[in-house]
Amino acid sequence: MIPENETIDFIEKGHKEFLHHLSIDCVLFGYHEHQLKVLLLKWKESDKWSLAGGFIKLEENLSEAATRILKERTGLDEIFLQQFQTFGEPKRSHRSKADIDHLETITKGSVPADHWLLKRTVSIGYYAVTEYSKVNPHPDPLSDKCEWWEIDSVPKLIFDHNFILAEALKALRMQIYHQPIGYNLLPEKFTLPEIHDLYETILGKELDRRNFAKKLISLGLIKKLNERRSIGAHRSPFLYKFDKRKYDKALKDGIILAF
Amino acid sequence: MIPENETIDFIEKGHKEFLHHLSIDCVLFGYHEHQLKVLLLKWKESDKWSLAGGFIKLEENLSEAATRILKERTGLDEIFLQQFQTFGEPKRSHRSKADIDHLETITKGSVPADHWLLKRTVSIGYYAVTEYSKVNPHPDPLSDKCEWWEIDSVPKLIFDHNFILAEALKALRMQIYHQPIGYNLLPEKFTLPEIHDLYETILGKELDRRNFAKKLISLGLIKKLNERRSIGAHRSPFLYKFDKRKYDKALKDGIILAF
């Protein structure tokens, strides 16, 4: 929980520290065994939920700002953040009387209509995927809860955040055909069903098992180990691991995958 | 050529019409028989070249702003613009003494250091591809030339525009695997070599002829006509056309292409 005076400071003095008209929204996806979740925050004194977001300091890079915002929420600082789209419909940030009331409730004072948090805001969207069991979520100055929600049970979010989430998922699903994924999401040694499940869960569709494995192996992204995992009578699938050098090269240069 | 008073008006009064800290840069690619070009502008009173760019009106959508900017430069208004990345390194828009001098030369007056055109600017990048023989380029208020340059002979551009161009080309090359292209770039009826050449030119690499055609046909994007084009003795390749319904559906829903 952020102390009250810090929240009030942010509302009253943030205009000197951050660029106006601009914000960042981070869609943090969390993967864990067959499930895809997303990190959401609940606004203080309200039952509204939102994505993790924040502002850009006067002399800060966009990607630094996104990394800082996500670190504040999750404690993680080695997350591969991907910028995917900038959202700027004028209406997306038209603030209502309720938004002004909300700020006034928090600050216990009056908030002018030209307050920096009420200006037209263009928001730059980033997404990342993490293993959600590794994350310990923290609320931000305007929220009192920060929790994982299953992708399919996300409630109505503030502003255009449901749209931003849907676009992030589309971008992630396209990106997965051009950049490898899984290095921080799977154990160091994994079975083919485990990596197959990761891709199916993210893509939200079935993938032919045989073609899938053949493709990843032929690109050199994963290699078979001379080791098996025993998971029951007569079942001991081979283990695989990522070829980190080829994985990093593929991250940098891009790949073309079609299962 | 834009009249001088319009240029001065824009420099002196633009801060009341446009959002501060934000701009749009458009990378307009032009395709014509084996060649990929890009539209560049030359700054007035200078030998510096730049991408086509502009600002966002106070209550304008980002995509409307990009469409307006490109229409002002090209006369075209039915261009499929794709937002691809937002550029915001603080250094990208640090203006030098030369930039201030440049504005002062144009306005024949003094320009304060906190002038709206000298603020930190985050730029939203869009790209589009057009048939360049259809375009009649126009300079903007700050430029005196607007011309097509071959992709491989682009000079050093202002700010980070060479980087923006390179990123646009990367994004276009990735997009081409997920959205069809060619409807406005090829004649209504075309041969397989013509569409193959379009894809090879954009991707900047060779594609297997047989697989390429097979893939587009199996996705239903193009269909063979019962018509041939005569291009010489013993050479009369079949003509093809896009299936517009499937093409539009693929544009909307996305496809997965791998040649």
Q: For the domain that residue B224 is a member of, what is the CATH number? A: 1.10.10.10
What confidence tens digit (pLDDT) does each residue in A179-199 have? 999 998 999 999 999 999 999
What is the mean predicted confidence (pLDDT) over B84-111? 84
Pick the residue of B173, B177, B208, B255 with the most A CBs within 10 A to test the interface with A by mutation: B177
What confidence tens digit (pLDDT) does each residue in B39-89 have? 999 988 888 999 999 999 999 999 999 999 999 888 887 788 999 999 999
Residue B182 falls inside a structural domain: no
Q: Which residue of A has its CA nearest to B24?
A: A86
Of A52-56, B160-164, B233-237, the least confident: B233-237
Residue B214 falls inside a structural domain: yes
The yes-or-no verdict on residue A259 having pLDDT over 80 is no
In this structure, the answer to whether residues A34 and A127 fall within a common structural domain is yes
What confidence tens digit (pLDDT) does each residue in A149-161 have? 999 999 999 999 9
In this structure, the answer to whether residues A154 and A202 fall within a common structural domain is no
What is the mean predicted confidence (pLDDT) over B163-174? 96
Residue A258 falls inside a structural domain: no
Residue A55 falls inside a structural domain: yes
> CB pairs below 8 Å between A and B: how many?
69
What confidence tens digit (pLDDT) does each residue in A21-65 have? 899 999 999 998 889 999 999 988 888 999 999 999 999 999 999
Closest CA to A198 of A183, A218, A217: A183
Count of structural domains, chain B = 2
In this structure, the answer to whether residues A201 and A162 fall within a common structural domain is no
The yes-or-no verdict on residue A98 having pLDDT over 90 is no
The CATH code of the domain that includes A39 is: 3.90.79.10
In this prediction, residue B96 has a pLDDT band, given cuts at 50, 70 and 90, of: confident
Question: Which has more pLDDT, B166 or A259?
Answer: B166
In this structure, the answer to whether residues A149 and A196 fall within a common structural domain is no
Express as a percent the part of chain B with pLDDT over 90: 61
In this structure, the answer to whether residues B161 and B198 fall within a common structural domain is no
Predicted pLDDT of residue B185 = 93
Residue with tokens 């499940």: A197
Domain range for A243 is: 190-253
The yes-or-no verdict on residue A97 having pLDDT over 80 is no
Which of the listed residues B175, B203, B238 is the one where a domain comes to its end?
B175
Residue A184 falls inside a structural domain: no
Which of the listed residues A175, A207, A222 is the one where a domain comes to its end?
A175
In this structure, the answer to whether residues A165 and A198 fall within a common structural domain is no
**What is the predicted ipTM?**
0.88
Question: What does the alpha-carbon distance between residue A111 and residue A8 come to, in Å, rounded to a whole number?
Answer: 12
Pick the residue of B17, B18, B20, B21 with the most A CBs within 10 A to test the interface with A by mutation: B21
SS3 A64: helix
Predicted pLDDT of residue A93 = 73
In this structure, the answer to whether residues B217 and B153 fall within a common structural domain is no
Question: What does the alpha-carbon distance between residue A186 and residue A92 come to, in Å, rounded to a whole number?
Answer: 37
In this structure, the answer to whether residues B12 and B62 fall within a common structural domain is yes
What confidence tens digit (pLDDT) does each residue in B174-220 have? 999 999 999 989 999 999 999 999 999 999 999 999 999 999 999 99
Predicted pLDDT of residue B140 = 80
Pairing of strands A238-242, A222-228: antiparallel
Is A88's CB within 8 Å of B254's CB? no
Residue with tokens 């925050």: A41
The yes-or-no verdict on residue B1 having pLDDT over 70 is no
SS3 B78: coil
Q: Which helix (H) or strand (E) holds A148?
A: strand A143-150
In this structure, the answer to whether residues A58 and A94 fall within a common structural domain is yes
Do residues B27 and B85 lie in contact, with contact meaning Cβ atoms separated by under 8 Å? no
Nearest chain B Cα distance for residue A86, angstroms: 7
B147 bridge partner residues: B40
Do residues A56 and A140 lie in contact, with contact meaning Cβ atoms separated by under 8 Å? no
Residue A247 falls inside a structural domain: yes
Question: What does the alpha-carbon distance between residue A53 and residue A47 come to, in Å, rounded to a whole number?
Answer: 17
Predicted pLDDT of residue B74 = 86
For residue A61, give the nearest of B21, B83, B90 by CB distance: B90
In this prediction, residue A124 has a pLDDT band, given cuts at 50, 70 and 90, of: very high
Which of the listed residues A151, A175, A199 is the one where a domain comes to its end?
A175
**Is A220 in the B-facing interface, judged by CB distances under 8 Å?**
no
> What is the Rg, in whole angstroms, of the alpha carbon atoms belonging to chain B?
21
**Is A238 in the B-facing interface, judged by CB distances under 8 Å?**
no
Residue A48 falls inside a structural domain: yes
In this structure, the answer to whether residues B196 and B99 fall within a common structural domain is no
Rounded to a whole number, what is the distance in angstroms from the first to the last CA of chain A?
A: 45
Pick the residue of A20, A119, A122 with the most B CBs within 10 A to test the interface with B by mutation: A122
In this structure, the answer to whether residues A29 and A97 fall within a common structural domain is yes
| B170 interaction partners in chain A (CB closer than 8 Å) | 254
Do residues A148 and A42 lie in contact, with contact meaning Cβ atoms separated by under 8 Å? no
Residue A259 falls inside a structural domain: no
In this structure, the answer to whether residues A122 and A231 fall within a common structural domain is no
